[in-house]
Structure 1
Amino acid sequence: MNFKKNLSLLVLFLSVSAFAQIDKMEPPFWYAGMHNPELQIMFYGKNIAQYEASVSNNVVIKNVVKTENPNYIFITIDTKNTPASDFVFSFKNKVAFTKKYTLKARRPNSAQRKSFDSSDMIYLIMPDRFANGNPNNDTDKSLNEKADRNTPGGRHGGDIEGIIKHLDYLEELGVTALWSTPLCEDNDKTHSYHTYGQSDVYRIDPRYGTNEDYARLSAELKKRNMKLIKDYVTNHWGAEHWMYKDLPTYDWVHQFPGFSQSNYRMTTQFDTNASAIDAKNCMDGWFVPSMPDLNQSNPLVLNYLIQNAIWWIEYADLDGFRVDTYSYNDKVGIAKWTKAITDEYPYFNIVGEVWMHDQAQMSYWQKDSPISAIQSYNSYLPSVMDFTLHDAFGSVFNEDKASWNDGMIKVYDNFANDFLYANTNNLLTFIENHDTGRFNQIYKNDFKKYQMAMALIATVRGIPQTYYGSEIGMAGDKGKGDADIRQDFPGGWNGDKNNAFVKSGRTEEQNKFFDFTSKLFQWRKNKTVIHSGKMTHYIPEDNIYVYFRYDDKETVMVVINNTVETKTFKTKRFQENIKNFTAGKDILTGKSIDIKNEISLEGKSVLILELN
């Protein structure tokens, strides 16, 4: 009898193993007390859809979705009155098996978490190129690409531990928020270091560390009153994503059938004259052949992306998102994604990459935009990136003599169009990022031009963002390829001759750049007048741009002389802002500057004056 019983158990075990093994369960766990109590759990395993599901602890199953692929089943439960606890899913066919699921307790006031805003300075890093804190994880057996620092586009070994070990450096620089390019697994065979071709969006790439390491990074940042911004990719995954190799539905990704490249013409998203095929090819075309384009109009896809984003916010205690290629998404779907997150977290900031060159077109994508309201569309996206200001930075400081269109008028005109935006304080300002030309390369490491540019983004409206290495004069030629603008930070690897993370290891030139940047952004930290004050600017004359930031308590005057000569100019023209002030303290030198009658300023220089 025992032999027969054991044989029956063995047959049962083999049947379960052969036909109903759960290989993936996503989200792997969830949280009790969410604003939206409905949770859709995806179970993946061979022929899982052949089984009927039930759940313990009086948890209510609201819906079960089975697709044309029998290896998937999507089960929606109602967690409204379910406390943090474990419960069990049972799957029955000829045999039965179970799977435990956990609802965890949320952090206190999780839904009310604050986010990054105009009081912050965001520092953008590419983790593979920043610092190698744990050489033991440079290569992982489970992933294709191995470490090779000698190859410009290869994996170089930077990781989460390297970031954590250099948080004191960031704090000294004046950084208050960290934006890292994606850290989730990217199993591409080459060029996986940028990690935008993700192959598992619930797993930190082992070459960066673990999920626990990522949560630890967030905790270490918070000890220093710094914030963590996750780079989230809604538009596409990598072709090595495990789900792409066994799609839940044919239309999980856009197919034509197969591959079709995006035309990259984002104007088709709102152009009333655009052809339907052009609009389709923009939204549904793939960014590149190795990045399958996700179909956010498929409710299963959309819900998967919403839940994944919320899961990371809760798990890693995140402070914001930067969303890659935001304006390439299905615009109805991405608006639902964004609203679902901000409904759950009312103060959570999300900045979208809307790489366009016209303020009205960029404004279209910001929440409550007066432009998109014309078409009764709202993206619900709180923030967009100020690419038109970035465009001006690419040439303006080489334009020594003003003309109708050249010189500081480019910067003035950028702010003249602020009326198009719903919220100018929530625009991300930057002189460069990981996809653009390096500022110090464009301007041949001209320190004065660097000072003018940094002073400008530190004192105008919006949220300033810097790119790793610029603060020590790092350059890189985009004409040589992306790897050249994403070079290793000196001192991040054992054996580096130049350790720019510490003052004693930096060259004299590197210290000059660093000290200026640190002084500027340390000053900015506590300047409410810069974070939220009003702005008045004056039409540039003789390539000199003057503007004021002011509130009820303070007034800051900024003067940029973009000529190569020392200029002296009368201050009477600025009387409406100067009022009864007679002098200003230059925050960079500490000197008092008399402003009663005139100001002299040498060429290619900037003054930031606290008026008194």
Structure 2
Amino acid sequence: MKKIFYLLLFSCAFTFAQANRVEPPFWWSGMHNPELQIMFYGKNIAQYQPVCDGVVINNVIKTENPNYVFVTIDTKGLPSGELVFDFKNIKNKTAFSQKYMLKERKEEASQKNSFDASDVIYLLMPDRFANGNPDNDTSKELNEKADRSQPNGRHGGDIEGIIKNLDYLEELGVTAIWSTPLCEDNDKGYSYHGYAQSDVYRIDPRYGSNEDYVRLSSELKKRDMKLIMDYVTNHWGAEHWMYKDLPSYNWIHQFPGYSQSNYRMTTQFDPNASQTDARQCMDGWFVPSMPDLDQSNPLVLNYLTQNAIWWIEYADLDGFRVDTYSYNDKEGIAKWTKAITDEYPDFNIVGEVWMHDQAQMAYWQKDSKIAAIQSYNSYLPSVMDFTLHDAIGGVFNEDHSGWDAGMQRVYDNFTNDFLYPNVNSILVFMENHDTGRFNEIYKGDLNKYKMALTLIATVRGIPQIYYGSEIGMAGDKGKGDADIRRDFPGGWNGDSNNAFTKSGRTAQQQQFFEFTSKMLNWRKNKDVIHNGKTTHYLPDNNVYVYFRHNTKESVMVVMNNSSETRTFSTARFTENIKNYTTGTDVITGKKVNLANEISMEPKSVMVLELK
């Protein structure tokens, strides 16, 4: 009887043994890097040894947590199809089997048509953009429920809302969408921003499904538009399923326990920095609710790398924006970036390097000669031009130029372009989801908006605009993040103002929209703006003049940032005007004689196509 009892118990152990999670959930044959590390997660799964007929298993890693097994296989030469992993006990008997799918890769999947200087990126926060499917506003399985009355709560915007308004974005003239994170964020509150992710293989059900995300990508491709994912390598959220059962102590940074970052990114390259300060920047947590991932741990780094590649392949992504890039372990994040660009050579990744010095930002761009002094290469194709953003945030209220005031501040920003390895791959912007709203700073002044938008649309780099600015939306950063992340008017049933349609816009909203649309649609086919050279002239009386030119054409941009009408001779610009006699203003359609003088109204801009 006792023998029968133990046999039954043994049989039950086999029956209930299983992998509760397998990540990546599937993969593809024919990848550039044939090595694939599959994570199997289940109760005491490490007691079993995985085998797979016909598959070379290069490595099996078991950590101090018996609920994890990391299995590295060689997929080289493996056709698409189903693999079966048998998990053997100590007697070499199969306790359970786990199927795994290798899918057939799309032809030329590695040759991604990524975003570049020919694009204009539209940054939106999905929860605040448009609610296309009210049925998914709340999810029974997730903590925070929809409550639009709460400024920091979930408001119900979703992927369907984006899809339903793609015609609006196409009319506006943007060519790429960067959405703040859409993966599951199960924080109990303030979860709408998505940066505290709790499952990086799953779209948050309150936004839709993984299939909806793929559909968004497909709908964008039909319009020759691109999809950029906001990827977070530095941290997850405290509700992440893996944080609740860590694979290993060093999966996250511990001191032991919690310690906050000092946010001093300069310690990453400061030759005089103490090791303590440098560690506190890289390893300290961004905030208490976001456990800091240890990218120096090979298992963590490989998990993040494969997750990123999985999304690129699965959703046909066109680029990444990487959050808090310079807070990561610098060696680890360089390996992550290189692994992705090795798999997709033309794939663009822009990193958030929120610094206020061009040399410090240039350090983080791929092939930086500055970083090479320390034998470092981040392999990051693009960084964000925060110094230009700093200038834009105040310069249009400076009516008089000085040694370092007025348009001289904008001019000075471009004098340091020699520091960047690839100046055309820098993201230029007026604002984003973390900064003050331009139209709040400048009190809805359309003329100042026209100057700022023209600036980022015509200088070197990749322009990015923030949702709602194109209709004059404002928001006070001083009142908290929710105020700079207001709901787009018309995105919800019952909104009194629908700015997605011309008939629904106010007169002021239409003025903002018309100007933005005209400028962005003009820019679409202007190679001279995308890849041309820049020649600029020292501002005179707060009038700034620069030319974008190539061997075929030339564009002259003139900004009068003073509070007075300015009249100036064109003789000073002869080296760029050359034999051109007139210029047609893109904004007004008027012809301007270049022979003698140009007169401009206060706070105005002209974009002249030279003839």
Taking structure 2 as the reference length, what is the TM-score of the superposition?
Answer: 0.98
Post-superposition Cα deviations, 1:362-421, rounded to whole Å, max 9, x if no partner, equal 000000011101111000000000000000011000000111111000000000000010
The amino acid that maps onto 1:534 is K
Provide the C-alpha distance between the structure 2 equivalents of 1:23 and 1:142, rounded to a whole number of angstroms: 17
Post-superposition Cα deviations, 1:88-127, rounded to whole Å, max 9, x if no partner, equal 0000116511010000011110111120000000000000
Quote the residue 1:76 is aligned against: 72
Quote the residue 2:192 is aligned against: 193
Shift of 1:462: 0.1
Pick from 22, 27, 31 the counterpart of residue 24 of structure 2. Answer: 27
Post-superposition Cα deviations, 1:288-308, rounded to whole Å, max 9, x if no partner, equal 000000000000000000000
Aligned to 1:112, the other structure's residue is in SS state: coil
Provide the C-alpha distance between the structure 2 equivalents of 1:339 and 1:114, rounded to a whole number of angstroms: 18
Quote the residue 2:401 is aligned against: 402
Post-superposition Cα deviations, 1:540-586, rounded to whole Å, max 9, x if no partner, equal 01100000000011100000000011110000000000001111000
Quote the residue 2:467 is aligned against: 468
The amino acid that maps onto 2:46 is A
Provide the C-alpha distance between the structure 2 equivalents of 1:83 and 1:598, rounded to a whole number of angstroms: 70
Provide the C-alpha distance between the structure 2 equivalents of 1:407 and 1:356, rounded to a whole number of angstroms: 21
The amino acid that maps onto 1:402 is S
Provide the C-alpha distance between the structure 1 equivalents of 2:444 and 2:405, rounded to a whole number of angstroms: 22
Instruction: Quickly say closer, same or farther: Cα 1:257–1:397, change in 2 above 3 A.
Output: same
Aligned to 2:110, the other structure's residue is in SS state: helix
Q: State the identity as a percent.
A: 75
Quote the residue 1:606 is aligned against: 605
1:508 aligned to 2:507? yes
Quote the residue 2:137 is aligned against: 138
Provide the C-alpha distance between the structure 2 equivalents of 1:365 and 1:399, rounded to a whole number of angstroms: 31
Post-superposition Cα deviations, 1:239-261, rounded to whole Å, max 9, x if no partner, equal 00000000000000000000000
The amino acid that maps onto 1:44 is Y
Aligned to 2:536, the other structure's residue is in SS state: strand
Quote the residue 2:125 is aligned against: 126
Shift of 1:14: 2.9
Provide the C-alpha distance between the structure 2 equivalents of 1:38 and 1:373, rounded to a whole number of angstroms: 30
Provide the C-alpha distance between the structure 2 equivalents of 1:286 and 1:166, rounded to a whole number of angstroms: 37
Q: What 5-or-longer segments of structure 2 have no aligned partner?
A: none
Aligned to 2:373, the other structure's residue is in SS state: helix
The amino acid that maps onto 2:85 is F
The amino acid that maps onto 1:483 is A
Shift of 1:503: 0.2
The amino acid that maps onto 2:516 is T
Shift of 1:595: 1.1
1:207-246 paired onto structure 2 within 5 Å:
207-246=206-245
Provide the C-alpha distance between the structure 1 equivalents of 2:79 and 2:605, rounded to a whole number of angstroms: 58
Instruction: Quickly say closer, same or farther: Cα 1:458–1:13, change in 2 above 3 A.
Output: farther
Q: What 5-or-longer segments of structure 1 have no aligned partner?
A: none
1:272 aligned to 2:271? yes
Aligned to 2:369, the other structure's residue is in SS state: coil
Shift of 1:493: 0.3
Contact in 1 for aligned 2:35/2:75 (Cα 8 Å) = yes
Quote the residue 2:167 is aligned against: 168
Provide the C-alpha distance between the structure 1 equivalents of 2:306 and 2:263, rounded to a whole number of angstroms: 28
Pick from 35, 44, 58 the counterpart of residue 47 of structure 1. Answer: 44
Provide the C-alpha distance between the structure 2 equivalents of 1:482 and 1:589, rounded to a whole number of angstroms: 37
Post-superposition Cα deviations, 1:480-524, rounded to whole Å, max 9, x if no partner, equal 000000000000000000000000000000000000000000000
Provide the C-alpha distance between the structure 2 equivalents of 1:16 and 1:525, rounded to a whole number of angstroms: 61
Quote the residue 2:443 is aligned against: 444
1:385-396 paired onto structure 2 within 5 Å:
385-396=384-395
Post-superposition Cα deviations, 1:12-35, rounded to whole Å, max 9, x if no partner, equal 6631354x2211100000011000
Provide the C-alpha distance between the structure 2 equivalents of 1:10 and 1:119, rounded to a whole number of angstroms: 67
Aligned to 1:110, the other structure's residue is in SS state: coil
Quote the residue 1:87 is aligned against: 83
Quote the residue 1:204 is aligned against: 203
The amino acid that maps onto 1:311 is W
Instruction: Quickly say closer, same or farther: Cα 1:566–1:296, change in 2 above 3 A.
Output: same
Aligned to 1:456, the other structure's residue is in SS state: helix
1:65 aligned to 2:64? no
**Range that drifts further, 424-433 or 367-376:** 367-376
Quote the residue 2:455 is aligned against: 456
Aligned to 1:371, the other structure's residue is in SS state: helix
Quote the residue 1:517 is aligned against: 516
Q: CA RMSD in A?
A: 1.2
